[in-house]
Amino acid sequence: ILEYLTSYFMEKRFSIRWWDYSTKPMNLNGRVWIGNLILFGLGGLVIIKIVNPIIFRFFKRITDYQFKVATSIVSIILITDWIFSHFIFKLLRIEVAHSTGDSTEKIAEEIKELFSSRTVFHRRILDAYPKLEYRTDKIKARLEKAKLDIEKINRMVLEKVEDTQNKFKESEKIILNYMTPVEKLQKDIIDTQDELIENLLSDEHDLEKRNQLMEKLAKSRKKLTEKEKSSIISIIKNKEK
């Protein structure tokens, strides 16, 4: 929870994502992942079971004066580090906001070049967080625009596909209207045969559907035969006249 909240608030405060676990398995929004949780848990056990007893034994051996001196030195180091870190983070936020780069990669290069030419305190930030992700309002706006453009393109493609399908159906209806009864029966027989073959090749073995298709095919063939006979009789009668 602490790691997740730290990542969230530092990103909001400095427009930077200090670490990203998006490519790791079992991550939560790229801020925490199962591997680090396990490592932190093991590290906590090591500190509690091994490191703390050693430190407590050391404290028992030194005098109160030595303890106060050591505490003062550590406090000064921590406060100094906090002051410099806060100053560097503030500088970093200003540089990111005024960057001329129009992408995360360009801004990253600008900031790293700036830091590499500064003091050891600046370089320490780069060493601690080598995979900084800079997220300015300009980049966020570009990403949002790209997302909207992609959604718009997807909608246009879907509309085109639907329009093409509708036109195809209309064309099919027009063709069927111009077909003779015999041609319609022939087309119906071909479609039924294709469907029957597909049913025979499938692994489902739908016997009921197969019987229905065979019955439909037999009826269509019978109608076609009758139509052909009727056409032949009509031709003969016309010739006799």
CA distances from 59 to 76, 98, 200 (A): 19, 49, 84
Q: Do 53 and 132 meet the contact criterion of CB atoms below 8 Å apart?
A: no
pLDDT for res 46: 94
User: Could you give phi then psi for residue 18, rounded to 5 degrees?
Assistant: -75, -25
d(CA 98, CA 138): 10
Taking the domains of the chain in order of start, what are their residue ranges? 2-136, 144-231
- Span 132-137, average pLDDT: 51
Alpha helices per DSSP H over 32-136: 34-46, 52-61, 64-97, 104-116, 120-128
Separation CA 55–CA 43 (nearest Å): 16
Predicted confidence (pLDDT) per residue in 212-235, tens digit: 888 888 888 787 787 777 776 776
What proportion of the chain, given as a percentage, has pLDDT over 70?
Answer: 62
What pLDDT, in 10s, does the model give residues 17-65? Answer: 667 788 888 888 888 888 888 988 999 999 999 999 998 888 888 888 8
pLDDT digits (tens, 9 = 90+) for 84-112: 777 766 666 665 555 544 444 454 555 55
Note the pLDDT of residue 103.
42
